Every structure is written in structure tokens, then in C-alpha cells.
Amino acid sequence: MDRVRDLASKKAAVIFTKSSCCMCHSIKQLFYELGASPEVHELDNDSYGKEMEWAIRSLGCNPSVPAVFIGGRFVGSSKDMISLHVDGSLKQMLMDAKAIWL
């Protein structure tokens, strides 16, 4: 859990993914389209990936990826990001965390 929290706090937007996950790809693309450059950690390419996956699940993220942190705070998975984007609050969260400037 400490590794996940440490990595999540290093940048304004952090996404934990797996390279084979299509929803992970979609959420990364959404962030890029909003003008953010999230730090992406692919769990299947990290030697601590399984450990981090269990830590993310313990936060309530099931499935474990994508797991999105904004401003060091866990905000959810793909369905949460889509909901936040549709209601317009995702962009504001990214601006508040200084992940994008407009």
C-alpha cells in the first residue's frame, strides 16, 4: 500500500493500468484529450505489480485497473472517470490538482 500511495503522490495525475486492458487505454486517452499527462504505471510490467494490485483492490477498486489518483487521492476506476467526465467535474479536478492548465 505504501508503494501505491508513494507513486500516486508524485504527480498530479497517476493511473495504474495493465498493458492488455482496453478500458485502461480508454481512460489514458481521455486524460490526454483533456490535456493532462498522467504518470502511468503498468502493473503487469512492474516487479511489484501483484503487490500493488492487491493494495489497489484494498482501496475498493474492483477490477483493480484502471485505478486513478488525482492530487494524490484515489478517485476511482473507469466507470468513475466516465461519470466524472460526463458531469464535467473531471476536468475541474484535474485543474485543481494542477494536472492541466486552462
Give the pLDDT confidence of 47-94 residue by residue, as tens digits.
999 999 999 999 888 888 999 999 999 999 999 999 999 999 999 999
Question: Phi first, then psi: what are they for 25, rounded to 5°?
Answer: -60, -45
100 inside domain: no
CATH number of the domain bearing residue 71: 3.40.30.10
User: What are the Cα distances from residue 24, in Å, to 13, 17, 81?
Assistant: 14, 6, 11
- The 10s digit of each residue's pLDDT in 29-43 is 999 999 999 999 999
Question: Could you tell me the pTM of the whole model?
Answer: 0.94
Domain of 61 in residue numbering reads as 1-95
Q: How many domains does the chain have?
A: 1
Identify the bridge partners of residue 16 per DSSP, sorted by sequence position: 41, 67
